[in-house]
Every structure is written in structure tokens, then in C-alpha cells.
């Protein structure tokens, strides 16, 4: 992260250690939405948030547990204006003050909304860059929570969120036509079953699948059971709508039914895990509360290649 040096003059009454501390500490303000909040020791909390201008940050909120000095601003999903001290090289910022902007308590009050919002938080924790501005991710998260609180839990919100993450990443799925014979989507019969291609981010019509064009899929990663992901044309259409419209309109305009939405989710999840660099391929933990089956196979927590060699 780029940093600007603010003070060229130095106080003369402080020790050299203190001088060093203050020279590299900045007080900052930003809008933040809580993604995770965990107790630290007996009295403090470590809160991780997506912010409007600093990407993902984690901050130590001192005495947050007993004194309640931060009110409801550290609750999951709460949006607040944070004032925090950022010290160069330190893992945690120090949260000084937080003023609530929107509590999103309606989300925490409903189990399905809470579960879906937890999936969104989990995704953002995996995807958002640390201390690097990503305002479009902040807006996506903030708008999604607003739609969720207003309309209730709906799988279309989650699918639109995933499609927009892919868009943010620059992954451009080729969805207009079959990757084998190039028949346009609008000429595929409504009841057809399309085969999703994760590696090449496209689809095959049923004729091309029968003709054995499976090699178009490319890759042989067993973590993605891509041959199992089949999708109706309406699901692909919803995907296109999700990419083209803001989340509020997109989640309303989606037409696919529950089953097709579930299939679309599994395709989007696999695309994201495959195409987003650095993303781990673990299934999202909160999915089980929504009764959604992941397209990803659980990976070993410590892959063998990362284990230290035995001497």
C-alpha cells in the first residue's frame, strides 16, 4: 500500500522509540462493514471489515467486550464510520472510534438472511485485497446486504454477488453461444440441458456433449466435478443479467427457478475457485445452513507440497 509521509518535523520531547512510533502511525477514517468479529484475550475484539477505501483491514478494538464503548458497531454486518490508527508494518490497526451508519440488524434477526449474509462475508474475506483500495467490492457488499435486508434471503442475491465477483476479477465467461458448435443461447430449446465448462468458462449444448466434445472443457482438476454441473438455458440467461445490471435490479430480473438457481450457484462457485488467483478451493462453510451443496471437494487443510520435508 502506498503511504504518504505526513510529518516532516519531529517533536523534541519524546524518546526515539516513541518518535519512531508516531512517525509511522496515521489516523484514518473510512466506512467499514464487519465481516468477522472475534474476542481477543478477555476484554478486546479483533474485527475484520471490508472498507470503502482501504480494502480489507483487521483492527483491534480495545475494551470492546466489557465497556461496550463501540455500541453495536462491531456486530456482524454492521456498517459504521471507523476512525483507526494504522501503523506501518503492523498486522492490526487500532480502532479508536466507530459511528454506526446502518446496523443491518434485520439480517441478524432472520436465520436465512443471517446464513446468506455469512456466505457473503466468507466470500469477501477470501477475495478482498488486504489494505488495498477496492471500492467496487465495498459497494457490492454494501448493496447486497441492503437488498438482502429489504427482500429477505434469496438465492438470486448470492448468484448475482458471485457473478459480480467474477466480473471484478476480469473473468469473462463465454456465454452467448455453445463452445462447440457456436449455436447462440437464444436458439437453444428451453428444456435443454447445457454442460458447464469451468476451465474455459463456457458451456456445451447437448448435441456437442453427445458428439464427444468434452475435450473442449480442458483441464482435469478433480476438485471441480465440472461434468456434474448441468444448467438450463434460463440459468445462463440469469448469469448474463447478473453481469449486466446492478445487483438490486439483477436479483429482481432473474427468472430461473430454485433448481436452476442452485445449478447456477455451483457453476459460479466453481468458476470463481478456478479463475480467481490465490483463492483457496475450500467449500464455503456457511453454505450448509442454506442447504446448498457445494461444487467443490474439501481440500486438505495442509496440502502435502506445503509440508516441511522430513530430515
Question: Whole-number minimum distance, CB 220 to Zn ion, in Å?
Answer: 21
Q: Tell me the closest approach of the beta carbon of residue 204 to Zn ion, in angstroms.
A: 6
Question: How many angstroms separate the first and last alpha carbons of the chain?
Answer: 39
Task: Note whether 185 binds Zn ion by CB under 5 A.
Answer: no
Among 124, 162, 208, 296, binds Zn ion (CB under 5 A): 208
Task: Select from 52-60, 205-213, 232-240, 289-297 the region that touches Zn ion (CB under 5 A).
Answer: 205-213
| H runs (alpha helix) in the chain | 16-23, 105-108, 111-127, 135-151, 155-169, 206-210, 233-244, 247-253, 258-275, 287-290
Contacts of 73 (CB under 8 A, 6+ apart): 34, 80, 82, 98, 99, 100
Q: Which three cell numbers stand for residue 260?
A: 436452476
Closest approach of Zn ion to the CB of residue 213, in Å: 7
Instruction: Write b or e for each residue in 48-79: b if 16 or more Cβ atoms lie within 10 A of its Cβ, otherwise e.
Output: bbbbbebbbbbbbbbebbeeeebeebbbbbbb
The residues in 154-183 that bind Zn ion, with binding defined as CB under 5 A, are 178, 180-181
Instruction: Provide, rounded to whole angstroms, the least separation between the CB of residue 214 and Zn ion.
Output: 12
Q: Residue 200 Cβ, how far from Zn ion at the closest point, in Å?
A: 13
Residues 291-310, interacting with Zn ion (CB under 5 A): none
Count interface residues toward Zn ion (CB under 5 A). Answer: 5
What are the cell numbers at 249? Answer: 435490479
Q: Give me the residues that bind Zn ion (CB under 5 A), please.
A: 178, 180-181, 205, 208
Amino acid at each position: 500500500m502506498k503511504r504518504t509521509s505526513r510529518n516532516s518535523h519531529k517533536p523534541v520531547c519524546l524518546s526515539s522509540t516513541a518518535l519512531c512510533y508516531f512517525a509511522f502511525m496515521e489516523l484514518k477514517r473510512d466506512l467499514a462493514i464487519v465481516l468477522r468479529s472475534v474476542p481477543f484475550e478477555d476484554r478486546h475484539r479483533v474485527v475484520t471489515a471490508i472498507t470503502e477505501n482501504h480494502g480489507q483491514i483487521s483492527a483491534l478494538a480495545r475494551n470492546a467486550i466489557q465497556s461496550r464503548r463501540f455500541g453495536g458497531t462491531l456486530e456482524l454486518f454492521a456498517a459504521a464510520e471507523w476512525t483507526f490508527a494504522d501503523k506501518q508494518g503492523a498486522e492490526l490497526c487500532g480502532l479508536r472510534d466507530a459511528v454506526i451508519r446502518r446496523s443491518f440488524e434485520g439480517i441478524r434477526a432472520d436465520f436465512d438472511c443471517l446464513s446468506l449474509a455469512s456466505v457473503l462475508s466468507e466470500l469477501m474475506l477470501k477475495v478482498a485485497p488486504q489494505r488495498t483500495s477496492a471500492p467496487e467490492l465495498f459497494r457490492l457488499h454494501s448493496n447486497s446486504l441492503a437488498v438482502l435486508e429489504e427482500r429477505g434471503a434469496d438465492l438470486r442475491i448470492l448468484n448475482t454477488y458471485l457473478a459480480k465477483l467474477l466480473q471484478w476479477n476480469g473473468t469473462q465467461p463465454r456465454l452467448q453461444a455453445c463452445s462447440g458448435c457456436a449455436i447462440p443461447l437464444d436458439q437453444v430449446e428451453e428444456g435443454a440441458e447445457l454442460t458447464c465448462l469451468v476451465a474455459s468458462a463456457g458451456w456445451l449444448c447437448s448435441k456437442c456433449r453427445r458428439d464427444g466434445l468434452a475435450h473442449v472443457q480442458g483441464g482435469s482438476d478433480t476438485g471441480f466435478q465440472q461434468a456434474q454441473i448441468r444448467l438450463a438455458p434460463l440459468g445462463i440467461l440469469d448469469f448474463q443479467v447478473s453481469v449486466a445490471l446492478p445487483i438490486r435490479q439483477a436479483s429482481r430480473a432473474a427468472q430461473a427457478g430454485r433448481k436452476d438457481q442452485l445449478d447456477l450457484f455451483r457453476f459460479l462457485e466453481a468458476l470463481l475457485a478456478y479463475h480467481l488467483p490465490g483463492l483457496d478451493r475450500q467449500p464455503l462453510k456457511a453454505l450448509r445452513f442454506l442447504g446448498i451443496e457445494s461444487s467443490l471437494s474439501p481440500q486438505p487443510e495442509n496440502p502435502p507440497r506445503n509440508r516441511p520435508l522430513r530430515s
